Amino acid sequence: MSKEGPAAPRVRFSSADGEVAALAARDLSSGLAAMLGIEVESSPDASLPQSEIRIDLSDSMAAATSSPIAPEGDSFEISRGAESITIRAGTERGLIHAGSNLLEKLGAQFPPGVAPSYPRIDSARLAAIEPWRVTPAFKRRAFASDIMTWNYNFADRLELHLRHDREFIPWMARGGINAFSYIRHAHDTRLKIDEVAPLLRERGIDVEYGGHVLQLLLPRESFAEHPEYFPAGDDGVRAVRGNLCVSNPKAVALVRAGALAYVHDHPENKLLHIWGADVSRGAWCRCGQCRALPPQLQYMNVVNAIAGALAAELKAPPIAYLAYHDTVEPHPDLKPLDNVWFEWAPRERCYSHAIDDPVCEINPRYHESLQRYVEIFNGRGHIFEYYADAILFGGLGFATPAIVASDLRAYRSLGITSVSCLTFGAYSVMAYPVNLEAFIRGSRDPGFEPHATLVGTAAGRHPRCAAEIAAAYDAVERASKLCLDYGDVMSPVMTPEKAARKRGELREAVLTFDEAIAAADQIALSLDTPLADAEKDLWRYSSDVLAGLSDYLGALGQTGVHRRIWGEAAIAKVAAAVERIRGIDREIKGTWGAYDLEWIREIWLGALQRGLDGDGKPAEEMF
């Protein structure tokens, strides 16, 4: 507390720093001002070293004693002097994370999907702050999104997504997320969202481009003149779809040149994600020369061709080799160059169990494949996780904070220092807020407490009905465990034995979602709670869909007319469930809930119908 004048506390930042540190200082001073109930000014100061912010508690401006070891990377350190608090970070963006972490220690909350809360405190509480130091457990802490979910061809839909971005990106930065990866699909006309760029840049968040771009790097127009560049099927017929013929040197040279141009045109790109077509199989070449090469080796040949050309360029980003679908199993003959990292995306894994849980009937195979990837790539690897994947989870609400915690600990114990989580804008925040919070906390410290995270997220999003929503989230977590062990929730393809068991488990999950709804029904009617109402509708959707899927599994066990009648009634139940989502405010459910769910559900319903007709083959190419 200041005895020397009314000016304190005030925030100073190094004038040698740029816009990121200035934003960190503003964010900190406005948070302190809200909590202390007084003006807190922030100003640049030439006497401060880089990546340092000073909070003067009095006018004395005496320096704090900081440790002699300067923080590295995004690490930060809070140190104390008698009349000041010093924040030092290894990077300017580390200052944003540090300032928010300091405000959290004082009682502020930054919950996903709602405005921060800054409770009033006494200035003595700020003066009592003790020193601490944070080194994030993972060096790369990223979110990833499909560019198409911005619906950028429609101005009003794009603006709806941008309203979400303006809240979400500051939330990411405050939680220490340091990269954002745009996933491009073959039909995308953009490789990034220009309107989002300043939000990321001002916070020092790295951008990464790429995605399913191999098809773009070999222009499809060249098919007419050079069909030999394109992949052949088992019948030897070349097709314009899929990746390329890797045995054709001209095709490989064309793709390499395309990738180099991509890198040179976008020097801000920090990691080049070169992925193949987004299909389970059939995108690689089966011509006479290629057919001896499994997909992993065909893919590696192309990636190494690009990596070899980029190796000589100091500023070129590393390249990510996607381990996914037909490449999730590493081939022992993989020989990645030093600037190639694997990007491991275990989409069909089980989310009812942790990745290293030996009890699980699915995950041990994935965990083992990951260990082999780590060996082959000498530890150079990124994890691509699906904790907030609205497509994988059928748009149902789920919460698996304990799985996120165990997974991240398992990934760290393999020496992996890079994790990302796929998101679908506002919809992911509505349906998976606990998982997003768990991911953000766990990427800093995988020792975080998952249940406290669930309770804290409930309280942060719903301060006036925290207990009711915490009870609801708890039920959602229990329901999640019953549903997430067969891959895509909307595609219940499994053995008859598992189907018989799963039918009962999904029925139990319905009752568990009903518990969540009942818990939320306890909220006083006098309270106006639009966000809780939206989540309740989401859980009704989840309950209705799971009832339909349970019935569907029952129908598949029948024959003849019973199979047909019961199956169609089950599909009708799944189809009708969407009305619950249609009733939710689009500001809460975002572009994915308002538009993308509508076309994706047609694919889901079509697949369920084909499964009933006896053709269980999933849709080959979703996008």
Comparison of 353 and 367: residue with beta carbon closer to Zn ion: 353
Size, binding site for Zn ion by CB under 5 A: 10
Comparison of 144 and 484: residue with beta carbon closer to Zn ion: 484
Closest CA to 481 of 346, 354, 394, 608: 354
Comparison of 287 and 532: residue with beta carbon closer to Zn ion: 287
Comparison of 360 and 454: residue with beta carbon closer to Zn ion: 360
Based on the shown chain and the rule CB under 5 A, indicate whether residue 243 belongs to the binding site for Zn ion: no
Helix (H) or strand (E) holding 582: helix 560-582
- CB of residue 401 to Zn ion, shortest distance in Å: 16
Based on the shown chain and the rule CB under 5 A, indicate whether residue 485 belongs to the binding site for Zn ion: yes
Part in contact with Zn ion (CB under 5 A); list of ranges 114-122, 351-359, 377-385, 475-483: 351-359
Residue 566 has a CB neighbour count (10 Å cut-off) of 18
- CB of residue 22 to Zn ion, shortest distance in Å: 47
Part in contact with Zn ion (CB under 5 A); list of ranges 216-224, 333-341, 346-354, 398-406: 346-354
- CB of residue 473 to Zn ion, shortest distance in Å: 21
Part in contact with Zn ion (CB under 5 A); list of ranges 125-133, 181-189, 411-419, 480-488: 480-488
Comparison of 213 and 290: residue with beta carbon closer to Zn ion: 290
- Bridge partners (DSSP) of residue 83 are none
Burial 59-90 (b: 16+ CB within 10 A, else e): ebeeebebeeeebeebbbbbbbbebbbbbbbb
Comparison of 360 and 577: residue with beta carbon closer to Zn ion: 360
Based on the shown chain and the rule CB under 5 A, indicate whether residue 350 belongs to the binding site for Zn ion: yes
Q: Kindly tell me the burial class for residue 530, based on how many C-beta atoms sit within 10 Å of its own C-beta (0-12, 13-18, 19 or more).
A: exposed
Member of 199, 245, 440, 519 binding Zn ion (CB under 5 A) = 245
Comparison of 300 and 597: residue with beta carbon closer to Zn ion: 300
List all residues 6 or more positions away from 303 whose beta carbon is below 8 Å from its beta carbon: 274, 319, 321, 336, 340
Member of 360, 390, 519, 547 binding Zn ion (CB under 5 A) = 360
- The values of phi and psi at residue 611, to 5°, are -60, -40
Part in contact with Zn ion (CB under 5 A); list of ranges 12-20, 305-313, 425-433, 485-493: 485-493
Based on the shown chain and the rule CB under 5 A, indicate whether residue 28 belongs to the binding site for Zn ion: no
Comparison of 320 and 350: residue with beta carbon closer to Zn ion: 350
- CB of residue 251 to Zn ion, shortest distance in Å: 8
Helix (H) or strand (E) holding 54: strand 52-56
- CB of residue 485 to Zn ion, shortest distance in Å: 4
Based on the shown chain and the rule CB under 5 A, indicate whether residue 353 belongs to the binding site for Zn ion: yes
- CB of residue 346 to Zn ion, shortest distance in Å: 12
Query: β-strand 52-56 against 10-14: which pairing, if any?
Result: antiparallel
- The values of phi and psi at residue 563, to 5°, are -55, -45
Based on the shown chain and the rule CB under 5 A, indicate whether residue 89 belongs to the binding site for Zn ion: no
286-325 residues near Zn ion, rule: CB under 5 A: 287, 290
91-130 residues near Zn ion, rule: CB under 5 A: none
What is the x/- site pattern for Zn ion, positions 259-288, by CB under 5 A? --------------------------x-x-
Edge-first strand order for the sheet with 42-45 is: 42-45, 10-14, 52-56, 84-89, 76-80, 132-134
Comparison of 77 and 485: residue with beta carbon closer to Zn ion: 485
Based on the shown chain and the rule CB under 5 A, indicate whether residue 247 belongs to the binding site for Zn ion: yes
275, 212 in Cβ contact below 8 A? yes
Q: How far apart are CA 613 and CA 615, in angstroms?
A: 6
Closest CA to 409 of 377, 436, 383, 427: 383
What DSSP character marks residue 155?
H
Part in contact with Zn ion (CB under 5 A); list of ranges 33-41, 481-489, 551-559, 604-612: 481-489
Part in contact with Zn ion (CB under 5 A); list of ranges 57-65, 96-104, 342-350, 463-471: 342-350
Residue 43 has a CB neighbour count (10 Å cut-off) of 12
- CB of residue 449 to Zn ion, shortest distance in Å: 23
Q: How far apart are CA 55 and CA 12, in angstroms?
A: 7
Member of 79, 178, 215, 352 binding Zn ion (CB under 5 A) = 352
- CB of residue 492 to Zn ion, shortest distance in Å: 15
Comparison of 405 and 600: residue with beta carbon closer to Zn ion: 405
Comparison of 57 and 287: residue with beta carbon closer to Zn ion: 287
- The values of phi and psi at residue 150, to 5°, are -75, -15
Q: How far apart are CA 555 and CA 380, in angstroms?
A: 46
- CB of residue 214 to Zn ion, shortest distance in Å: 14
328, 311 in Cβ contact below 8 A? no
Based on the shown chain and the rule CB under 5 A, indicate whether residue 42 belongs to the binding site for Zn ion: no
Comparison of 437 and 485: residue with beta carbon closer to Zn ion: 485
Burial 219-240 (b: 16+ CB within 10 A, else e): eeeebeebeebbbbeeeeebee
Residues in the chain, overall count: 623
Comparison of 97 and 481: residue with beta carbon closer to Zn ion: 481
- CB of residue 237 to Zn ion, shortest distance in Å: 12
Part in contact with Zn ion (CB under 5 A); list of ranges 200-208, 219-227, 318-326, 352-360: 352-360
Comparison of 91 and 406: residue with beta carbon closer to Zn ion: 406
- Bridge partners (DSSP) of residue 89 are 76
Question: HEC profile for 208-264?
Answer: EEEECCHHHHCCHHHHCCCHHHCCECCCCCECCCCCCCCCCHHHHHHHHHHHHHHHH
Q: Is residue 9 reached through a cis peptide bond, with omega within 30 degrees of 0 on the bond before it?
A: yes
Part in contact with Zn ion (CB under 5 A); list of ranges 66-74, 415-423, 455-463, 484-492: 484-492
Based on the shown chain and the rule CB under 5 A, indicate whether residue 35 belongs to the binding site for Zn ion: no
Helices 597-612 + 560-582 axis angle, to 10: 170
Q: For binding to Zn ion (CB under 5 A), which residues are involved?
A: 245, 247, 285, 287, 290, 350, 352-353, 360, 485
